Structure formats: C-alpha cells, structure tokens
Amino acid sequence: MLTLAYHEQNPQIYKMHIDGRWVDSADGGIFESYHPGTGKTIGYLQAGTRDDAREAVRAARRASESFRETSVWERSALLRRIVGVLEKRKEELAFYLTLDQGKPYHTEAVFEIAGMIKMYEEASELIKWQESSVIPVEDKNKRVFTIHQPRGVYAVITPWNFPFTIPSEYMSAGLAAGNTIVWVPAPTTSICAVKLMECFEEAGVPQGVVNLVTGRGDVVGDEIVVNPGTDGIGFTGSSATGKLIAARGAGKPLLLELGGNGPTIVLKDADIPSAAASIASGCFFNAGQVCSSTERILADVDIYDKLLSTLADHAARVRLGDPFDPATTMGPLNNVQVFDKNVAHAEDARRRGARFLTGGKPAEGLGGSLFFEPTVVADIDRDSLYNQEETFGPVAPVIPFRTREEALELAHADGWGLVNSVFTNSMKESLFFAEKLRAGIVNINENSNYWEPHLPFGGASGKASGLGRIGGKYSIMEMSDLKTVCIDLR
C-alpha cells in the first residue's frame, strides 16, 4: 500500500541483503525509521554489526571471482535489466523516497528516480565504449597497450540527501566496471536502500555482487573501510567523515565526494530577475540539502538591494509543507542533526547582527518538527557560520562586494571548493571567474545545482570537498584499474 498512513499504522521490519539473502543483523538489533514530515515511525531497519559487514565483504569477494570475468556486453545487459525493473517500479520508488527522505513527491522525488534510471542507462552504453590505448615506445621491439580491469570489491558509503541517485552513481559505474559492492547507506534513508536492493534482486544481479548492510556508519561503514577484503572506497558524505575514512582506508583507491559551501557571485551587469530565480532554486531545492547548493551569494554592492528583495519575493512563494501534497514545493529537513545545524547557523548570524528578510527559524504548525522556513539573510559577517561552513538548509545568505578581486577573495575565504556559480552578461568576466575560481565546477549564468550525470563532478585539489571525479565515464575510470601491458617481440 503506497500511503503514508498505511506505513505509519503498519511499520514493517526491513532486512539487509547479504550474499543473495535477506537477513537479520547478527545480534538481532534494529533501529527505527521515521517520516521527516510527521516524525512518526514508518519502519525498523537492521542494526548491522561488524560481523555482518565482514560476512558481506566475504560474499562480495567470492562473487568477485566470477563477476570480474564477465564480458562487458554481459554487464551492459545486466545494467539494462536493472533499468527495466526501475522503470516498472519508478512510482513506488518515488513514494519511498518521499516517505523516507522527505523531499516533495511531485516536484522532486519523481525526478530523482528518473535521474537514477539514466545513470544505469548511460553506464550500460558507456562501458561498451571504454577504449584503451596502444602507446608508442622508444624500444622498437616492444608493443605497449593498456587495459581497464575491475578493481575488485568496492566499499560504498552514501548519505541521505539523494538516497537513490548518489548510491546509483557508484552502483552503475561499479557494476559496469566489473566490481562487486558492499553498500552501507545512511541510517535515516535505509528503507530506500532496501527498495533499491529489491530491484537489483528482481533484475537478476548475481548472488553477492551487491550486498546491503544497514546500521551505524561508525560500525558497519568503518568495517568495510578498514577490512582488507575491500579493494576500493567510494564515499559521499560530510568532509569530517571523509577525512576519517581517508585515514582509516589509507592505501585503497578513494573516490571522495564531500561537502561544499559554494559561493554564487552576482556581478552588476547580470540580469537580476533571471539570476534571482535561478539562485532561489539553487538555495531551496531539496530544502538546501545538496552538496552543490547555493550556500552563499556574493553580490556587487550596486545590485545588492535589488537582488535581496527579488530573492525575498521568491522565498515568499515557496510552499513549505506536506511533501506528498501536490502544492508543496519544499519539504522538511531530513533529520534532527541537520535541523539543529540550521538553527545554530541562524542564531550565530543573528548574534552577529545579520538582517533576516525572511525565515531564519523553524516553521510551525505543519505537523512535524523538522520544517525550516525559507530564509533570505543580509549583512553577513565574514566570520559567520553562513560564510564559513556548509549550512545544508534552505538559506540564501547575501554578502556585498565592491571589486572582482574582493569577490574572489571572499569566494576563497573558506576551505571548500565544490561548485561555484557566476552571473554576468560579460564574456570577459565569465572567463576570468571560470579560470580563477578554485572549485571543481564553475557554472556561468546557471545556479550551482546544475549538473548532468555524465559530467565530471568533484572537489578542487587542496580543499575540503573531496577527491576524484564522479559522473559517467569518469566514475567508471575511477572504479577501474588501468593496467599497462608490454610485449617484447624478439
């Protein structure tokens, strides 16, 4: 039954999926899952133990022996079968996404599922065209070429903000490349993970090729990172956890997709109405819980007031409420930790004299306690948490600048470097900022959330936003070993 009321009245117990079987945790522990819109229990998940995680790694190792030998065409066909099942179950998956994560069903959840399906479709094609090279060498008696091979068993750990697309970035590329996987999803969106595993099972993913272990990140997540049975790590989550994982998994190939505090720079020659509309979407999409969210806006003083008032108009039009209601355009935050962070960042700004044009506080009377008002805030102090840290909420903090040098200096004043945006009508300024900004991605006249699944996505070097590039052929490359073969002809 696809209704919230049914799940609140009949909370199910969901199992983990290890070595092709649905299993309970080794010690029988479970944890509760709730709907962020009401705070009511919707199910119970297995609190996996280190032993469960070890069993999953052993299963993935066994499965790797035969899966790594499958041909590219076989893996492409497997990915297409996954596409078929996801297509068939897409409405059900979107329902569980809203139930578990809290994003609006009609304006966001259905699109996340469509985006996820595209990832498997694209991986099924891209893997067939993963050519390698024959490299000329000095020695005339040698022939040298490269081949891509599976790395082996991947430890994949994922967050709660996109519980279908983020895991699927790793699953689609990882399976295409011939790896087997042990997956630890975020606890607050683990029902989505169980639903995705059901789809893999239905599509005939072989026993042990993808294993799902639910539970605490610092228990089962840590185990798959340190376990010598895993050969590579794919992690998307906070920078703090990412750093820990890099240390704990030292020596293994790492794909780290971490946080951001992306500035959007608005120059005085920009088209303000269209910039404001795009920026509002960058701030409020998924209630701001996106690594590429527009976390802060740097505005030329000449257009500062106009931009602020236009952003406030957009914030006033956001319909915050029940994420299953077709009229809703923004849902609750996903969990208490991110909610508390939003409250703390707003209080910090208030203490420092910031001016709130809208929001800056929890929304009341909506049935749950995780709703936060869409916020537009001016006169931000440079040392404020809004300027320095990732807020991960529906907030548009605006900071004025006078020269492009000052804009750059402000943009670089934090430790992050994921996605930056610039709004300008000048080609010269576009190129200046595209080249100078130290970020993995720079979007010009488009908000920071724009991305397509085949484009390279990741943080700039030397910053806190991650390592490596995810997206299409880039993920497949990151999740493959490149072997150099030399043949002597004599």
Residues 347-366 that bind ligand NAD (CB under 6 A): none
d(CA 18, CA 210): 8
Q: x/- binding map, residues 211-250, to ligand NAD, per CB under 6 A? A: ------xx--xx--x----------xxx--x--xx-----
197 vs 308 by CB, closer to ligand NAD: 197
In the complex, least distance from residue 159 CB atom to ligand NAD, rounded to whole angstroms: 3
Q: x/- binding map, residues 440-479, to ligand NAD, per CB under 6 A? A: --------------------------x-------------
* Member of 123, 280, 291, 395 binding ligand NAD (CB under 6 A): 291
Question: Token pair for residue 292?
Answer: 């590429």
194 vs 225 by CB, closer to ligand NAD: 225
Residues 155-174 that bind ligand NAD (CB under 6 A): 157-161, 166
Binding residue count for ligand NAD, defined by CB under 6 A: 30
Q: Using alpha carbons only, how large is the chain's radius of gyration in Å?
A: 23
Residues 106-165 that bind ligand NAD (CB under 6 A): 157-161
- What DSSP character marks residue 414? S
Largest CA distance in the chain: 81
In the complex, least distance from residue 194 CB atom to ligand NAD, rounded to whole angstroms: 14
CB atoms within 10 A of CB 3: 11
User: Is position 291 annotated as part of the catalytic site?
Assistant: yes
Decide if 415 contacts 256 (C-beta within 8 A). no
User: Is position 405 annotated as part of the catalytic site?
Assistant: no
d(CA 118, CA 126): 12
Decide if 381 contacts 387 (C-beta within 8 A). yes
Q: Does 429 bind ligand NAD (CB under 6 A)?
A: no
d(CA 194, CA 212): 8
In the complex, least distance from residue 33 CB atom to ligand NAD, rounded to whole angstroms: 13
In the complex, least distance from residue 15 CB atom to ligand NAD, rounded to whole angstroms: 18
For the chain, what is the total number of helices (H) and then of strands (E)? Answer: 16, 21
Q: Does 85 bind ligand NAD (CB under 6 A)?
A: no
Q: 165 by DSSP, 3-state: which?
A: helix
Phi, psi of 94, deg, nearest 5 = -65, -35
d(CA 432, CA 225): 40
Containing 52, the helix (H) or strand (E) segment is helix 50-67
- What DSSP character marks residue 234? E
Beta strands in 191-347 (DSSP E): 210-212, 232-236, 254-257, 263-266, 296-300
The single residue of 121, 198, 223, 257 carrying the catalytic annotation is: 257
In the complex, least distance from residue 61 CB atom to ligand NAD, rounded to whole angstroms: 20
In the complex, least distance from residue 137 CB atom to ligand NAD, rounded to whole angstroms: 38
Which residues have C-beta within 8 Å of that of residue 423, sequence separation ≥ 6? 264, 265, 266, 267, 270, 271, 275, 278, 279, 444, 445
Closest chain position to ligand NAD (CB): 217
109 vs 291 by CB, closer to ligand NAD: 291
Known catalytic residues are 257, 291
Per CB under 6 A, residues contacting ligand NAD are 157-161, 166, 184-187, 217-218, 221-222, 225, 236-238, 241, 244-245, 257-260, 291, 390, 392, 418, 466
